[in-house]
């Protein structure tokens, strides 16, 4: 079967750094996405990785290792507004998106 | 503001009733999707459409139907609602369903409760 695993919930402190991991098993691979979803709102696109390595975008970075079926989202200089759920999704060989259940990130002052 | 509009925002309905969730986009995207989101589960694809006039079944299509008469509109119909269809429904769109970076734009969601 196809599945995406990510931690259910994480807690971090304002100003700190947090790493949210995602492991996947899919039939084929055409890229990995991270989306942010604030409570009661729609998911919004954060990042896309298709090649191994780190993609940096301001305070957010995303890493991919295709051989390990592993990705992480790194959030630096955490702000209260970063409290949200972070969704990992993989595009498989049919370009179908397989979604993880999301990681709820709680930021404490 | 360009984007996706969903209606209604929330709805409570009795089991057995028919319900249509509306979705309209103004970005001229070719592909559109309907997902449901349930606590503890990832987004699950119900139906999708590659382009106007075509539709396809996703992971959990049973009990739902869609139509795509034009580029902008992609309504989702529950012919006879059941309590297990209680969920938050998201409509989404993208430039294409294959190739390239298929970034989805989501609507604000429709919260449906079936009693």
Q: How far is A1 from chain B (nearest CA, A)?
A: 13
Distance CA B58, CA A104 (A): 26
With an 8 Å Cβ cutoff, are B99 and A95 in contact?
yes
Give the mean pLDDT of chain A.
95
Q: Is the pLDDT at A48 greater than 90, yes or no?
A: yes
pLDDT tens-place string over residues B45-97: 999 999 999 999 999 999 999 999 999 999 999 999 999 999 999 999 998 65
Of A41, A98, A100, the CB nearest to B108: A41
Model confidence at A13, pLDDT cuts 50, 70, 90, reads very high
Residues of A within 8 A of B103 (CB-CB) are 33, 45, 48
pLDDT of residue A95: 84
Is A45 near chain B, with CB under 8 Å? yes
The DSSP 8-state label assigned to residue A8 in this structure reads S
Is A39 near chain B, with CB under 8 Å? no
pLDDT tens-place string over residues B22-42: 999 999 999 999 999 999 898
Whose structure tokens read 């896309």?
A48
* A85 half-sphere exposure, CB direction, 13 A CA radius: 25
pLDDT of residue A96: 87
Q: Is the pLDDT at B101 greater than 90, yes or no?
A: no
pLDDT tens-place string over residues A22-36: 999 999 999 999 999
Whose structure tokens read 């954060």?
A46
pLDDT of residue B19: 97
Closest CA to A86 of A33, A21, A22, A37: A37
pLDDT of residue B97: 59
Distance CA A62, CA A65 (A): 10
Cβ atoms of B66 and B78 closer than 8 Å? no
Q: How far is B99 from chain A (nearest CA, A)?
A: 8
User: What average pLDDT score do residues A40-61 get?
Assistant: 95
Phi–psi pair at B24, nearest 5 degrees: -135, 135
pLDDT of residue A2: 86
Cα angle value A18/B107/A33 (rounded, 5°): 40
Distance CA B104, CA B93 (A): 6
């Amino acid at each position: 079967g196809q599945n995406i695993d990510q931690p259910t919930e994480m807690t971090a402190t304002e100003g700190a750094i947090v790493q949210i991991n995602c492991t996947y098993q899919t039939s084929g691979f055409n890229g990995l996405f991270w989306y942010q979803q604030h409570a009661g709102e729609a998911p919004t696109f954060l990042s896309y990785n298709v090649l191994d390595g780190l993609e940096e975008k301001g305070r957010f970075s995303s890493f991919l290792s295709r051989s390990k079926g592993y990705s992480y989202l790194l959030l630096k200089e955490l702000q209260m507004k970063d409290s949200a759920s972070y969704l990992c999704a993989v595009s498989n060989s049919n370009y179908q998106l397989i979604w993880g259940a999301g990681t709820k990130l709680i930021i404490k002052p | 503001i360009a984007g996706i509009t969903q209606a209604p925002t929330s709805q409570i309905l009795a089991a057995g009733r028919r319900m249509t969730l509306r979705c309209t986009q103004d970005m001229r995207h070719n592909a559109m999707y309907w997902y449901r989101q349930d606590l503890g589960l990832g987004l699950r694809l119900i139906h999708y459409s590659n382009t106007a006039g075509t539709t396809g079944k996703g992971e959990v299509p049973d009990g739902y139907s869609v139509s795509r008469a034009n580029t902008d509109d992609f309504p989702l119909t529950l012919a006879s609602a059941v309590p297990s269809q209680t969920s938050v429904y998201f409509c989404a769109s993208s430039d294409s369903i294959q190739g390239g970076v298929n970034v989805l734009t989501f609507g604000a969601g429709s919260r449906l409760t079936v009693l």
